[in-house]
Amino acid sequence: MGCDYTKYLSPVGQNGDRTCWAACISWWLSAQALVLKRAKKSQDELLGMFPVQGKGVTPGQLKVIGDSPSIRMEVDIWSSDLFQARSEDVNVPVVIAFNYPRIGGTHANVLFNQNGRNVWAMEPYYPYPGEDGKRTGRYVQRPLSFYCSNIQIAVGRLPVAEVGITPA
């Protein structure tokens, strides 16, 4: 098991109904700053840096954001099957963009501390449905299969091979 991030970081609630990606990247950068020399960025800073239009961030847009020198996140776009096959040890936080039918489109979480086929997630869309600007986010444990209801999944992680999920 990796670091118990729940002891060191509070969840980040998304500010708007389509800003889950910014809340997740903000939390992810804070997690990296615990052990690496990484700059933290607030959700509002990220929204200003990367204006995403439409129904939230797509896997391709997450890849563009991750490639930014200020983020430095390696983003791969995998099939659901490949994600389940490669996610044997999700202990270092990874950002995942996936289809979440309950909220009607693409959504993002940060996954960490895998235990068997379950992972802990930082879920920014809480309380549901909640009110923009007042969500707190929360930690929740879910099965990996929860994230596999669509063909493509974007997985963002530190750009090193030893982070638990390895590239294809």
The CATH number given to whatever domain includes residue 77 is 3.90.70.10
**What's the domain range around 15?**
11-157
Residue 127 is predicted with a pLDDT of 94
Say what the pLDDT of residue 47 is: 92
pLDDT at 80: 85
Whether residue 96 is contained in a domain is answered as: yes
3-state helix, strand, coil in the chain (%, to 5): 25, 25, 50
Q: How confident is the model at residue 57 (pLDDT cuts 50, 70, 90)?
A: confident
pLDDT of residue 167: 41
The rounded distance, in Å, linking the Cα atoms of 106 and 60 is: 12
pLDDT at 149: 75
Cα-based distances in Å from 2 to 31, 72, 84, 85, 140 = 12, 21, 19, 20, 16
In a domain, 104, yes or no: yes
Whether 166 is covered by a domain: the verdict is no
pTM attached to this predicted model: 0.90
pLDDT score of 164 more than 50: no
How large is the average pLDDT for residues 93-97? Answer: 93
Does 38 map to a domain? yes
Number of domains in the chain: 1
pLDDT of residue 55: 65
